[in-house]
Amino acid sequence: MFLTLRHLLSIMPIVLLSLAACAVNPATGERSFTGFMSEAQEIEVGQETHPKILAEFGGAYDNAALQRYVESIGELLASTTERPDIDFTFTVIDSPMINAFALPGGYVYVTRGLLALADNEAEVASVVGHEIGHVIARHSAQRYSRSVLAQIGAIGLGIATGSGELANLAGSGAAVYLQSFSRDQEFEADTLGIRYMARANFDPQAAADFLAKLQAHSQLEATLAGQPESTDKSNIMATHPRTVDRVQRAIENAGATQVTDPILARDIYLDQIDGMLYGEDPSQGVVRGRRFLHPDLRFAFEVPEGFTLRNNPNQVIAQGPGDTLIVFDLAPKPGSDSMLTYLTREWAGNMNFADAERIEIDGMEAATGSTRLRTQQGPRDVRLVAIRYDADTVYRFMFLTPPDLTEEQSLGLRETTYSFRRLSEAEAAAIEPLRVKIITVRPGDTVESLAEQMPFGDYREERFRVLNDLPEDAGLIPGQRVKIISG
């Protein structure tokens, strides 16, 4: 986290003024309304947006060999499409999120979080092929057009509440790329992706296998967050809503069941991801369970049970039950000395607080106040907290609760406020990056004994099984290669 929050709306170039295009798509054979973009505009939008996407999602992962490897998979698939003229750019994003997305004009991204979960080349090809499918069918162009409209809605929200911060929250740059496609678009992207996989001689079945694994992982994440279903809207399961059944149908639909001698390339793949970072890069702050710790900036806080923490480049967000939201960030250039003045005049000068007051958090001067706001999602009780960390640095919490949940949530959110504290040098130094390590099972190794080595507080065996695609009753065979996470 901690790039600036301010320029997110500038991600949107002005493409609204052009006339709608209607064209026959060579891959789908459909005459489709592609929103506001010509092909030339798609490429332009992609070129302009690419660097901003990198900034928003933590940049490209700094591993040239892995980048080249994923590029080679992507280029092989891209060479088989109906639009081989598109110059694709494939990037591994330095993010622990499990996601993949595409921009108009041929920019395709997969996160290192997703690569850690994949088990072979064919599974990665299924994800990359699917994103290529969205580009070829021009869904990303269509979505982009709709996103521009959504942005205008978000600006409207800002005007209604008089708060630029809330406008940023509602229409944050990341959110635009984390919107989901329609079921029809997903089916089409699957069908196309599987077609390209088969043409490139990958096993199409890997698409269904990997989706099942993504679902298992999503389920585990939900369990870890203490919720029956995943509420992580940044996960590929949310942005690309699919079911194994429908992917299976897409495999049949693509007529791609017959690939002789298909490529899986498991060993090659495992060699490529051996040593890859897992989870957050500590220099950006790390999520450990319900805690967020930042060894470089030297602070930590904890969110209540049932909340899922997500570390974004410019803010830390925790989603809780019933749309409860915690947003934590760094105040851009605070001018006021007093936190109460900062809160009431600078940060939220247009809001009316009934109860703004000075408080102290871990010996630091702080201020808090609450009010009710209208938002596009309905009325929300908003509590703001500003904390003077040092002469130049002010950290902020924003708690948003639907009014009927405010009372129930207030104790937990108050505990979060007062959990904010400084980290000692020793505590900061103890935070190590996690990495994927590939090991060969030796006689006597069990799921339990290998899982024990992983530096997680809980659910080690479940994590090990999901990471390695091992069903509940499956054991290990000596000589088999498996992934573990090491600290």
Residues that bind Zn ion (CB under 5 A): 181, 186, 189, 240
Report the amino acid identity of residue 365. E
Nearer to Zn ion, 98 or 364 (CB): 98
Give residue number: closest CB to Zn ion.
Answer: 240
Length of the chain: 487
Closest CA to 74 of 108, 49, 50, 46: 108
Nearer to Zn ion, 181 or 347 (CB): 181
Alpha-carbon gap, residue 143 to 182, rounded angstroms: 10
Query: How far apart are CB 36 and Zn ion at their closest, in Å?
Result: 21
Query: How far apart are CB 240 and Zn ion at their closest, in Å?
Result: 3
Query: How far apart are CB 144 and Zn ion at their closest, in Å?
Result: 14
Closest CA to 143 of 255, 37, 268: 37
- DSSP β-bridge partners for residue 483: 438
Nearer to Zn ion, 124 or 189 (CB): 189
Nearer to Zn ion, 186 or 445 (CB): 186
Query: How far apart are CB 88 and Zn ion at their closest, in Å?
Result: 16
Dihedral angle, C-alpha 35, 38, 42, 48, nearest 10 °: -100
Query: How far apart are CB 19 and Zn ion at their closest, in Å?
Result: 27
Q: What is the DSSP string of 110-126?
A: EEHHHHHH--SHHHHHH
Query: How far apart are CB 315 and Zn ion at their closest, in Å?
Result: 26
Alpha-carbon gap, residue 438 to 482, rounded angstroms: 6
Question: Is residue 350 classed as helix, strand or coil in its secondary structure?
Answer: coil
Nearer to Zn ion, 181 or 301 (CB): 181
Packing angle, helices 460-467 and 205-224, rounded to 10: 160
Nearer to Zn ion, 181 or 342 (CB): 181
> What is the distance of C-alpha 132 from the center of its chain?
19
Query: How far apart are CB 119 and Zn ion at their closest, in Å?
Result: 20
* 3-class DSSP string for 123-191: HHHHHHHHHHHHHHCCHHHHHHHHHHHHHHHHHHHHHHHCCHHHHHHHCCHHHHHCCCCCHHHHHHHHH
Nearer to Zn ion, 186 or 381 (CB): 186
